[in-house]
Amino acid sequence: MSVLISTPNVIDTAQAKTRQRLLDAAGEVFAEQGFHKATVREICNRAGANVAAINYHFRDKQGLYTSVLQYAHQCSVDKYPHYDGSNARVEEQLKVFARSFLLRIFDDGRPAWHGKLMSREMIEPTTALDALVENNIRPIANQLESLVREYLGLGASSQLIILCARSIVAQCVFYHHARPVISRLYPNQQYNLEEVERLADHITRFSLGALKECKKQIKAGKK
C-alpha cells in the first residue's frame, strides 16, 4: 500500500493560499461591517478556512485586521510605486509621486474593498492605523520630505519642509475625498490615464511654484 506524504513545499503552498484567502475574505467583511461588528466565523466561512487558521497565520482578529490594512495599502504601492528608482531631478520625482498617488486613487481595477476599508479606517481609526503609519506610510512621507528638503536647501526649517510636503499630499488626497462632489459639479469629469497625467502635471507645477516662493523667502531671510 502506497502512502502519500506531503512535502514541505506543498504544505507551504497550501498555507500561503489559505492565508491569502483569509486576507481577501477579511478585507471584504471588515470593509462591509467594520472591525468591531465583523466576526471571525463569517470571515472563515467566506475564506473556506477554520478558526485555527486565523490563530496560526495572524494570532487573533486584531492581528488579522492589521495585516489586511497593510496588505491593501501595499498592493496599491506595489502596483504604482511612488519612486521609480532613478536619480532624476527633484521636479521629475515630484511628478512621479503625484502621478502614482493619483493612479492609486483612481484605480478601478483593484478589489472594491480596498478603498472602502481604507476610508473606513480614516473615519474611524483603530490601533491598527498606528502600525500602518509606521510600517507603510511613514517611509513614503519621509521620502517626500527628503525631496522637499533637497529642493529648498539647507536653510529650510523642519516645520516648513513638513508643511510643504503636507500641501503636496493634500492636493492629491482632495481627489479621493471630494470625488463624489466633483462628479456632481463636473459630470463630464473623467479619470483616464490622460487626465491623471494632466492632473499630476498641474499638481507638480503648482507645488513647484509654491516651493520656489518658499526658497526665495528663505534666501531673503524671511523663512
Q: What is the DSSP annotation of 135-176?
A: IIIHHHHHHHHHHHHHHH-TT--HHHHHHHHHHHHHHHHHHH
Q: 30-58 burial by CB neighbour count: b if 16+ within 10 A, else e?
A: bbeebbeebebebbbeebebeeebbeebb
The pLDDT-based confidence of 10 (bands split at 50, 70, 90) is low
The pLDDT-based confidence of 7 (bands split at 50, 70, 90) is low
- The whole-angstrom separation of Cα 203 and Cα 193 is 15
pLDDT in tens, 144-202: 999 999 999 999 999 999 999 999 999 999 999 999 999 999 999 989 999 999 999 99
Domains of the chain: 8-72 (1.10.10.60), 80-219 (1.10.357.10)
- The whole-angstrom separation of Cα 218 and Cα 201 is 25
